[in-house]
């Protein structure tokens, strides 16, 4: 005989058997809870994997440019092409999301990203080892090389770099925030790989004459992509074992087995409706009306435009931030990537968490969120303008940014590398192997410095008797030069101030990031939230993530002073930039885009205050009414009820 069990006791009872002696689990809620935790954990890890891979790819921008001798605009096209995949599926998936097997869709997406990472590594092994530009000097028995300034040194050498060796909303906030840790570790991995030589394991590292600060240095960019591919593959595995949907609270996971048991409190409930089958024709038919309804919301429309501008400024900043630090402040790419990973991204995560905490602490309504986000963004924008005060002089490169002191220029102003001090050296203009003279001026090669001899090997090589370094009136003939560009001390000293300013701006911007994102959910109807997220992300990535790296890179290319040369001919990646022009272009673009964001934030605040002004008044009246009711005696509260509410007796009669 079956036993009547209350709903509250069902969770505490051990498993029991039905009439067919089949075991029916009693702890249904705990089972569903465990599945939910698995899903949230898997989703959080997939966000982590995506951020990890994307940030690593952006941190390797300079390495990829130099490895394949491409310009910044070409890399921008490569980087922006990532968004083309989103264009093909994002709207469709967000619109059809409730009608498809979402865990398997996520799993397939992770597998595609994993495959893409592995395929991106192939050019490294198909193209052979990396050969960087340098002039060749022969060494005699006395370990002193022959003159770099000689007709023999003018031959176009493409020397190998080294010698080969034998060797709910709460949960949704948590999930998105967990994805922010991915970029942090992605940049840290990028810093580590950038410090390793690209052909590590197959070349003699000691034979390499350049260091990570050299603009010809290429790190092991491919190594991190292998790790990214493995992480994305692991992220896909849990989703293949998750069900179509999770049972809601109060519902039986297997109603066929325990549905006949009379459980008190459940005899009025019906089985959950079956999931409607996906009809593609109906979905397409309803798409345009749904889209029209969504864009008919002025708050959401302004929010989308705001998102697009923010994506443009953010993507452009992240893509070329390390290049800007390298060129402007004379730091290595590996160090720049490391600083972004350990300082800027963690402070951004902290700002996002703090912004969410303030919303919960002060129970901000949508109008309060809009004001808070607007004020924080404007403050960050004003701090952003201080970037222009971080001045840094242009590298003194003989014949390009400064003249050969005391010598007559023999070539045209456009190509003024040749002077009377190196006229008989027959130097090649398309070579780049810079040396730093005793006078603090950088020369494109030791040949252009007019150096007659050298001592030492590898990185320790020193050139002597450099006619262009010693000066016209200085005839003692013992001026020397060392490998590499001259250091700019004033730029190095200004870097900590720039980093502190950027950290403050990143924190304030992130502080208003969470309230801004919450505005979208509060301004659209519940049935359109999933579609709204897809449209917002699509607009931001296609109109921001795709074009921003391209036009940022194209304008940065315009500030290049000296292009490298490919081994097969033609211009390669940029060797040196006009740092002042670079700063004005890079920071000017970001400031201009954020100025537009400030205007849209103000418009958004006005629209939200007009739309939700009545709601704020109603919420205030309701709150005052609740406080008045709470002050009345408890006996009165028991008998009073809100209009339209049913008593327990009426509920039981309705259930009967």
pLDDT tens digit string along 189-201? 999 999 999 998 8
* Nearest to 162, CA basis, from 213, 214, 201: 201
* Better-predicted residue by pLDDT, 492 or 552: 552
SS3 (DSSP) at 564: strand
Is it the case that residue 427 has pLDDT exceeding 90?
no
Contact (Cβ atoms closer than 8 angstroms) between residue 373 and residue 520: no
pLDDT at 247: 58
Q: What is the DSSP letter of 365?
A: -
pLDDT at 216 over 60: yes
Sign (positive/negative) of CA torsion 357, 363, 367, 372?
negative
For tokens 């040396």, the residue is: 435
From 328, 307, 398, 308, select the one nearest 585 (Cα to Cα). Answer: 328
Tell me what the mean pLDDT of segment 292-305 comes to. 93
pLDDT reported for residue 476: 55
Would you say 146 and 152 are in contact if contact means Cβ atoms under 8 Å apart? yes
pLDDT at residue 542, rounded to an integer: 85
Task: Check if the beta carbon of residue 9 is closer than 8 Å to that of residue 198.
Answer: no
Structure tokens at 539: 């607009």
Nearest to 57 by CA among 107, 127, 116, 106: 116
- Cα 205 to its chain centre, rounded Å, is 31
**Inter-helix orientation angle 221-236/169-194, to 10°:** 150
pLDDT score, position 8: 42
Rounded-to-integer distance, Cα 328 and Cα 384, Å: 17
Of all residues in the chain, the percent with pLDDT exceeding 90 is 35
> Is the separation of the CB atoms in 345 and 509 below 8 Å?
no
If one counts every other C-beta atom within 10 angstroms of the C-beta of residue 261, the result is 17
**Six token digits for residue 66:** 């130099």
Q: Between these two residues, 512 and 244, which has the higher pLDDT value?
A: 512
Selection from 163-177, 301-315, 404-418, 435-449 with the highest mean pLDDT: 301-315
Could you read off the pLDDT of 506-536 as tens digits, one per residue? 999 999 998 998 898 888 988 888 889 888 8
**Strand locations in 131-277 (E):** 144-145, 263-264
Whether residue 442 contacts residue 396, with contact meaning beta carbons closer than 8 Å, is answered with: yes
* Residues 88-108 as b or e (16 or more Cβ within 10 Å = b): eebbebbbbeeeeebbeebbe
Determine whether 285 is exposed, middle or buried from the number of CB atoms within 10 Å of its CB (0-12, 13-18, 19+): exposed
Provide the mean pLDDT of the chain: 78
pTM: 0.78
Instruction: Decide if pLDDT at 159 tops 60.
Output: no
The answer on pLDDT for 415 being more than 80 is: no
DSSP 8-state symbol, 572: E
What pLDDT, on the 0 to 100 scale, is given for residue 59?
Answer: 93
| d(C-alpha 48, C-alpha 42), whole Å | 10
Residue 13 pLDDT level (bands cut at 50, 70, 90):
very low
Region of residue 377 (phi > 0: left; psi between -120 and 50: alpha; otherwise: beta):
alpha
**What region does 431 belong to: left with phi over 0, alpha with psi -120 to 50, or beta?**
beta
Q: Is the predicted pLDDT of residue 478 greater than 90, yes or no? A: no
Closest C-alpha among 63, 75, 315, 58 to residue 183: 58
Predicted confidence (pLDDT) at residue 386 exceeds the cutoff of 80: yes
Q: What is the DSSP letter of 274?
A: P
Closest CA to 582 of 346, 324, 269, 312: 324
Q: Of 223 and 564, which is predicted with more confidence? A: 223
Q: How far is CA 69 from CA 132, 218, 485, 574, in A?
A: 10, 11, 20, 8
Nearest CA to 198 out of 183, 170, 217 is that of: 217
d(CA 458, CA 218): 17
Asked whether the predicted pLDDT for residue 179 surpasses 60, the reply is: yes
Cβ proximity of 314 and 58 under 8 Å:
no
d(CA 253, CA 384): 54
Confidence band of 131 (pLDDT split at 50, 70, 90): confident
On the question of pLDDT at 368 being above 90, the answer is yes
How many helices (DSSP H) and strands (DSSP E) are in the chain? 23, 12
Q: How confident is the model at residue 265 (pLDDT cuts 50, 70, 90)?
A: very low
Q: Yes or no: say if 425 and 450 are a contact pair by the CB < 8 Å rule.
A: yes
Q: Which of 95, 472, 428, 450 is nearest to 288 (CA)?
A: 95
In this prediction, residue 638 has a pLDDT band, given cuts at 50, 70 and 90, of: very low
For range 252-281, the mean pLDDT: 46
Quickly list H helices, 435-561.
467-470, 489-511, 513-523, 529-540, 547-557
Per-residue confidence (pLDDT) for residue 109, from 0 to 100: 86
Residue 185: φ, ψ to 5° = -70, -30
Angle at CA 148, nearest 5°, toward 145 and 150? Answer: 115
Lowest mean pLDDT among 271-285, 295-309, 502-516, 558-572: 271-285
User: How deeply is 510 buried, as exposed, middle or buried, from its count of CB atoms within 10 A (0-12, 13-18, 19+)?
Assistant: buried
* Residues pairing with 197 in the sheet: 219
Looking at residue 174, what is its pLDDT?
59
- What confidence tier does 550 reach under pLDDT thresholds 50, 70, 90? very high
Q: Where are the beta strands (DSSP E) in 4-110?
A: 5-6, 16-17, 23-24
Where does the pLDDT of residue 161 fall: very low under 50, low under 70, confident under 90, or very high at 90 and above?
very low
Q: Could you give the CA distance from residue 248 to residue 272 in angstroms, rounded to a whole number?
A: 9
Q: Which residue has the tokens 């418009």?
A: 603
C-alpha dihedral sign at 190, 194, 195, 199:
positive
Measured CA to CA, the distance from residue 279 to residue 366 in angstroms comes to 36
Coil vs helix vs strand at 443: strand
The predicted structure's pLDDT at residue 208: 86
CA pair distance 478, 388, nearest whole angstrom: 41
pLDDT at 647 > cutoff 50:
no
Question: Beta strand 5-6 with 263-264: parallel, antiparallel or unpaired?
Answer: parallel
- Amino acid 260: pLDDT: 42
User: What tens digit of pLDDT does each residue of 561-609 get?
Assistant: 989 888 777 788 998 999 999 999 999 999 999 999 999 999 999 999 9
Could you give the CA distance from residue 581 to residue 591 in angstroms, rounded to a whole number? Answer: 15
Name residues whose C-beta falls within 8 Å of residue 339's C-beta, 6 or more positions apart in sequence. Answer: 325, 499
Query: Contact at 8 Å (CB) between 431 and 610?
Result: no
Q: Which residue, chain included where needed, has tokens 């898997």?
A: 42
Q: Between residues 423 and 358, which one has the greater pLDDT?
A: 358
């Amino acid at each position: 005989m079956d036993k009547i069990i209350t709903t509250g006791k069902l969770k505490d009872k051990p498993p029991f058997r039905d009439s067919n002696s089949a075991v029916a689990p009693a702890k249904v809620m705990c089972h569903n809870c465990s599945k939910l935790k698995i899903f949230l954990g898997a989703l959080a890890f997939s966000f982590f994997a995506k951020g990890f891979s994307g940030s690593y790819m952006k941190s390797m921008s300079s390495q990829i440019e130099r490895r394949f001798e491409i310009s910044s605009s070409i890399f921008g096209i490569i980087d922006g092409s990532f968004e083309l995949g989103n264009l093909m599926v994002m709207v469709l998936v967000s619109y059809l999301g409730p009608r498809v097997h979402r865990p398997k869709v996520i799993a397939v997406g992770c597998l595609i990203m994993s495959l893409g990472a592995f395929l991106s590594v192939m050019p490294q092994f198909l193209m052979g080892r990396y050969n960087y530009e340098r002039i060749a000097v022969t060494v005699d028995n006395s370990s002193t090389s022959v003159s770099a300034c000689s007709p023999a040194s003018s031959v176009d050498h493409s020397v190998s770099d080294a010698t080969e060796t034998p060797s709910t909303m709460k949960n949704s906030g948590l999930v998105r925030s967990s994805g922010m840790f991915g970029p942090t570790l992605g940049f840290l991995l990028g810093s580590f790989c950038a410090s390793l030589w690209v052909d590590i394991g197959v070349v003699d590292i000691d034979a390499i004459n350049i260091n990570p600060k050299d603009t010809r240095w290429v790190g092991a960019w491919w190594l991190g992509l292998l790790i990214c591919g493995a992480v994305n593959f692991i992220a896909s595995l849990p989703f293949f074992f998750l069900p179509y949907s999770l049972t809601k609270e109060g519902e039986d996971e297997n109603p066929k087995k325990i549905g006949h048991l009379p459980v008190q409190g459940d005899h009025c409930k019906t089985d959950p409706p079956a999931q409607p089958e996906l009809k593609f024709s109906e979905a397409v038919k309803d798409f345009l009306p749904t889209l029209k309804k969504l864009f008919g919301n002025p708050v959401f429309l302004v929010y989308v435009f705001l998102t697009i501008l923010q994506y443009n400024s953010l993507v452009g900043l992240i893509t070329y931030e390390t290049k800007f630090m390298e060129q402007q402040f004379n730091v290595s790419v590996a160090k720049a990537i490391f600083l972004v990973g350990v300082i800027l991204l963690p402070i951004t995560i902290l700002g996002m968490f703090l912004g969410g905490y303030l919303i919960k602490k002060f129970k901000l309504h949508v109008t309060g969120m809009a004001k808070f986000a607007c004020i924080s963004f404007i403050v960050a924008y004003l701090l952003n303008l201080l970037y222009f005060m971080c001045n840094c002089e242009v590298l003194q490169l003989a014949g390009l940014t400064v003249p050969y002191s005391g010598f007559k220029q023999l070539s045209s102003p456009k190509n003024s590398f040749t002077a009377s001090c190196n006229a008989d050296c027959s130097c090649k203009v398309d070579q780049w192997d810079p040396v730093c003279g005793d006078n603090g001026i950088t020369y494109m090669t030791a040949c252009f410095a007019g150096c007659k001899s050298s001592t030492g090997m590898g990185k320790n090589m020193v050139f002597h008797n450099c006619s262009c370094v010693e000066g016209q009136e200085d005839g003692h003939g013992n001026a020397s030069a060392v490998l590499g560009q001259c250091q700019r001390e004033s730029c190095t000293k200004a870097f900590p101030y720039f980093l502190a300013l950027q950290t403050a701006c990143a924190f304030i911007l992130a502080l208003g990031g969470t309230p801004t994102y919450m505005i979208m959910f509060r301004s659209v109807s519940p049935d359109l939230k999933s579609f709204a997220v897809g449209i917002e992300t699509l607009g931001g990535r296609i109109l921001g993530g795709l074009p921003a790296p391209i036009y940022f890179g194209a304008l940065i290319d315009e500030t290049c002073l000296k292009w490298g040369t490919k081994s097969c001919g033609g211009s390669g990646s940029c060797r040196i930039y006009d740092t002042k022009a670079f700063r004005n272009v890079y920071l000017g673009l970001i400031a201009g885009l954020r100025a537009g964001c400030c205007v849209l934030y103000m418009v958004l605040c006005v629209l939200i205050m007009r739309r939700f002004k009545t709601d704020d008044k109603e919420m205030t009246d309701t709150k005052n009414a609740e406080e008045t009711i709470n002050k009345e005696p408890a006996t009165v509260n028991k008998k009073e009820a809100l209009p339209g509410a049913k008593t327990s007796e009426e509920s039981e009669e309705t259930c009967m």
